[in-house]
Amino acid sequence: MGEFDERYIKFSSAFLILIFVAGLMVGGIVSCYITFREINSLKNDVSNLRNQVSKLWGVRPEVIEQHIIIYQNSTALTEIYERVKDSVVLVIGTTSQGGVQGSGFVYNFSGTMVVITNYHVIHETTSLSVTFSNGNGYEARVNGTDPYADLAVLLVDAPEYEFKPLEIVSSSTLRVGDPVIAIGNPYGLVGSMTTGVVSALGRTITQEEYIRRFGIANIIQTSAPINPGNSGGPLLNYCGKVVGITTAIVSDSQGLGFAVPSNTILREIESLVKGYTYGHSYLGLEGRDMNYEIAQEMGTNVTYGWKVVGFLDPSPAGDRGVEVNDIIIAMNGTRIKNTDDLASYLEEYTFPGETVILEVARKEGQTIDTIEIHVVLGSRPSPLI
């Protein structure tokens, strides 16, 4: 066999091997492509099925996903509790009237471990302690407070291993009907867990013994049972993330509780940890909700909104031309139906010093005129506590 023949055989063999390898590669690529398309097709089918079920049930797809997790895994709530129970603490205080107790939870703010609780839990206390789920108790001190949001931050003299922080997520995605979990220490029963749903959003509640004239705005209403001692505990979604902090119950109510939304906590946490005052937007007005009967008395067809009945001192809105009997029906283009709408919008979307546009219905003679008034928001005066 000549030298040429040997080179030819080697070349042919290499060429055949190259073709074989190329065939394998092409086959692999084609197989991956087909598999990728099948996976995408399955994902689309699942997504379409979820959307169809969503329309059929009348709920959002993410809520269905939460329920799928719950129903497929009967231990979901147990697992959430096991993950978060060590992050919930018992807050005990001493006052001139005796002892008080509530709940709180651990949060990591830029490397600083703190306990977040309600203002009314630590109000007028002369000494404080925090007890973790393992029974270990430590001295605590108040670092920052905001009575207008019923929030307080505590620093605890405890070793690092005791702190197991929870994650706080935005409450903006909450909808009425979403399932929620409350964990706290009702009546001193440490580590109690209850469940319920978000039953309303954007409520305004008052704590007359702590703040006067103003309410705590943009509150979550929940059916999760909340009892004395729960105050300051976390309100969680079904991923175990904090969406609120339980704050109050209505006396003699049946399954009606309230929580400060997590957006308020996230907005204020820096000021609470660093110890400076957080400013709340202020119009300086007194008013009442409109309804059909009031509209009939006034001789107007405006049956919604917030009727101005007086002025506080100072009054940024009064200084800019708002008058008694004016009906605020919108702010920055957002419809205002009642006190809850007005207070929640101011709390969630504005800051002192900003200019807002009030849309006001004003009766002039026999006609109702709608006018716009630009108001530079003030800051609420110090609470009378």
62: Cα within 13 Å, side-chain hemisphere: 9
In three-state form (DSSP H/G/I as H, E/B as E, the rest C), the secondary structure along 269-291 is: HHHHHHCCCCCCEECCEEEEECC
Active-site option among 87, 103, 120, 344: 120
Q: Is 252 a catalytic residue?
A: no
Cis peptide before 352 (omega within 30 of 0): no
CB contact at 8 A, 286 and 311: yes
How many other CB atoms are found less than 10 A from the CB of residue 170?
12
Active-site option among 231, 262, 315, 344: 231
Bridge partners of residue 129, in order along the sequence: 92, 139
Active-site option among 146, 150, 326, 341: 150
Say how far apart CA 340 and CA 289 lie, in whole Å: 9
Instruction: Supply the DSSP symbol for 168.
Output: B
Q: Write the CB contacts of 125 (distance below 8 Å, at least 6 apart in sequence).
A: 93, 94, 95, 100, 142
Q: Is 120 a catalytic residue?
A: yes
The structure tokens listed for 269 are 């946490």
**Active site residue ranges:** 120, 150, 231
